[in-house]
Structure 1
Amino acid sequence: MLKPRTLLLAAAALLPATPGLATRKAGEPAAVRFSPPVAAATLPASPLARLAPGADPKVLDLAQAAMQCAQASGVGASARRLAVIDYSRPSLLPRLWVFDLTAGKLLYEEVVAHGQGSGDNLATRFSNRDGSHQSSLGLFVTADTYTGKNGYSLRMQGLEPGVNDAAMARAIVMHGAPYVDAAQGKRMGRLGRSWGCPAVRNAVAKPMIDLLKGGQFVFSYYPDQAWLARSALLNCPAARRQHDALVHHDTAARPASG
C-alpha cells in the first residue's frame, strides 16, 4: 500500500490549487458564486442510486466521478468500497451510505456527525483549516487504523489541495462516538458534533471502519458552488469519460421503440 504522502502527491499531480473553504472574515468581499459543472449536474442515475433510493442520485454520481478521476491517476486503483456523505441533509437523517462496488451492494445507511464549527442540525460551513472544528468537503482515500482517544479510528488522506488536504494534520478521521445517538438527538434537535470528524454510531464504527480501511474512498458533499465548479476531481477527463459511459450504457439498455 502506498504511503499517505505518496498518495497525495499522485493525486496532486492532476489537481490545480483550489481555494480553501474557510468562512470569510468580517469586511472581506463575498465569494464569487459559480454554477456547478454541466456534466456533473446532468449525470444520469447510476446503479448506486438504485441501491440507495434515499440518497440524492446526483450526489452519488458526483462521488463516482471524483473516484474515477482519482483512480485514473493511480490513487485507490484497487478500491472496492465507497462511502458517500451528503452534508446538505440534516444530521438527524441518514446521510452516510457505504457501498460495496464489486458486489453491487449497499452495506450501510447511517446518520453521521459533522464538526461543531460547521453548524447545528444543518452543516453550512466547511474548512480545511486546523482549529476550525469544521468538516471538510471532497474526496478522501482511506489509510490505516489506530486506537486513540475516540477509540478505533480510520485515518483519511484528503485529495483536494486547499479543500481537504490538511485532513491528516488535523486528525480528521472516522470514529465512533456516543453522541451519535438518534434518540438523544431528537431531544436536542440535532446529533452531537465532532471537531470535524465524520463520527458514526459506536455500534457500527468498527465493522464500518474495517470495510473502509486501506485505500477505499470517502466522498463528502455539500452544494458549495465554488468547490463544485473548481474541483479538478469533478471536472477531469476521467470524470467526463465516466459520464459518457453512463450515458452510452443507459441508451444501449433501452428497448427499441415500436
Structure 2
Amino acid sequence: MHQTSIVQRKRKVLRRQRIARRVLPFLASLFLATPMAGPVTKSMAGGARSELRLPKVDFSPQVVFDQKLRATYTALGAEQEGLRFETFAKAMTGYLNLRQAGKLDENKQLLTVVDFDLPSTEKRLWVLDLAKNDILFHTLVAHGHNSGENEATNFSNTDQSNMSSLGFYATSGEYVGKHGRSLKLEGLDEGFNTNAEARSVVMHGADYVSEEFIKQNGRLGRSLGCPALPMELKDQIIETVTGGTCLFVNRSDAGYSSQYLNEQVAIAALVPQAANHLS
C-alpha cells in the first residue's frame, strides 16, 4: 500500500505539470492582449469612496522667490567667484526694496557687493550686472583704519571715526578730489551709514589696495572709512557704477539691520503675481 500511494502521488504531480504547461501560455497571451488600466484616481475602501491624492507641489511666492534667487546666483557663477549665497540673497533683497522705493536708477540693473566677512587679503568686492547675469568686476577693497587690521570687525556712522559703515548705499555723482577720480555715496540706512556724505566716505583708488601691498604687509592698507579700490581698476569701476546704482556693504555678525531687508517687498518685486497674496 505504501508503494502504491507513492506511485499515485508522482502521477498526480506529473499530471499537474502537463496541465500547467498547456494553460500558462494561454493566460500569458490573454494578459498581453488586455489593455493596461489607466491611472487609478479613485478607490473603494470599506464601502467608502476616497480619492488617491498626488503630493501637493508648493508654488508659493516664497518658494518661487527663493528659486529665482538661486537661478540668478547660478547664472552669475557667483559661487565660483567666492560670493556666498547668504550675502548675495541679502544684497538682492535690499536691491529689490530700493528699486521699489525709487531710490535707484530704473535703467541700471547693477549691484555692487562688499563682503567684510572676508579678510582684506581676499577679493571681496563684486560688481554684478543683473540684466546680463554677468560679474563685471571681482577685486580687492579696503576697509577703514579703525575697523580692524586684516579683518573689519568694528563699524561706525560717526564722523572722524575712521571706520567703515555697513548697509545699503546709492551711488551718486563723480568728482575729482585728493584721491583723484572719486564717486560719492549716499548712505540709506539710518543709524548705520547716513553720515557718509558728511564724512566724505566715497569710492576712490589707493596705492595700498594691491597684491603687492599684501605681499609686503600681510594685509591691505586701510582707508579713513572709504571702500578704496585698486588704482588700475578704480576708473573702470567708478565709470560703471556711477549714478544711482546699489552698493551693499556686509558684515554678518555686526548687529546690522535695515528696513530694506523686507523680504515681502522683495518677493512682490521679483514675483509680480505674489502682490495679491501679500496684500
TM above 0.5: yes
CA RMSD of aligned residues (A): 2.1
Secondary structure, aligned partner of 2:173: strand
Secondary structure, aligned partner of 1:168: coil
Unaligned 5+ residue runs, structure 2?
1-61, 275-279
Determine the C-alpha separation between the residues in 2 that align with 1:115 and 1:57.
Answer: 25
Determine the C-alpha separation between the residues in 2 that align with 1:86 and 1:235.
Answer: 20
| Among candidates 167, 171, 184, match of residue 142 of structure 1 | 171
- Within-5 A mapping of 1:4-15: none
Query: Residue 77 of structure 1: CA displacement?
Result: 4.4
CA contact (8 A) 2:112 2:126 kept: yes
Partner of 2:38: none
- Within-5 A mapping of 1:105-184: 105-184=134-213
Q: How many equivalent pairs are there? A: 204
* CA offsets 1:7-37 (integer angstroms, 9 cap, x no match): xxxxxxxxxxxxxxxxxxxxxxxxxxxxxxx
Partner of 1:241: 268
CA contact (8 A) 1:92 1:186 kept: no
User: What letter matches 1:51 in structure 2?
Assistant: G
Matched, 1:104 2:130: no
| Among candidates 44, 66, 73, match of residue 48 of structure 1 | 73
Matched, 1:206 2:232: no
Query: Residue 225 of structure 1: CA displacement?
Result: 5.3
User: What letter matches 1:185 in structure 2?
Assistant: I
Query: Residue 240 of structure 1: CA displacement?
Result: 4.3
Determine the C-alpha separation between the residues in 2 that align with 1:106 and 1:69.
Answer: 21
Query: Residue 51 of structure 1: CA displacement?
Result: 2.4
Determine the C-alpha separation between the residues in 2 that align with 1:149 and 1:118.
Answer: 22
CA contact (8 A) 2:105 2:243 kept: no
| Among candidates 54, 60, 82, match of residue 111 of structure 2 | 82
Return the index of the structure with the highest Cα Rg.
2
| Among candidates 250, 254, 258, match of residue 231 of structure 1 | 258
Q: Report the TM-score when normalising by structure 1.
A: 0.74
Unaligned 5+ residue runs, structure 1?
1-38, 249-258
Identity over aligned pairs, percent: 37
Determine the C-alpha separation between the residues in 1 that align with 2:267 and 2:215.
Answer: 41
Shift in alpha-carbon separation, 1:59–1:46, aligned structure 2, 3 A: farther
* CA offsets 1:129-158 (integer angstroms, 9 cap, x no match): 111100011110000000100110000101
Secondary structure, aligned partner of 1:76: coil
Determine the C-alpha separation between the residues in 2 that align with 1:237 and 1:181.
Answer: 40
Determine the C-alpha separation between the residues in 1 that align with 2:208 and 2:237.
Answer: 17
Determine the C-alpha separation between the residues in 2 that align with 1:226 and 1:56.
Answer: 19
Q: Report the TM-score when normalising by structure 2.
A: 0.69
Moved segments of 4+, more than 3 Å: 240-243
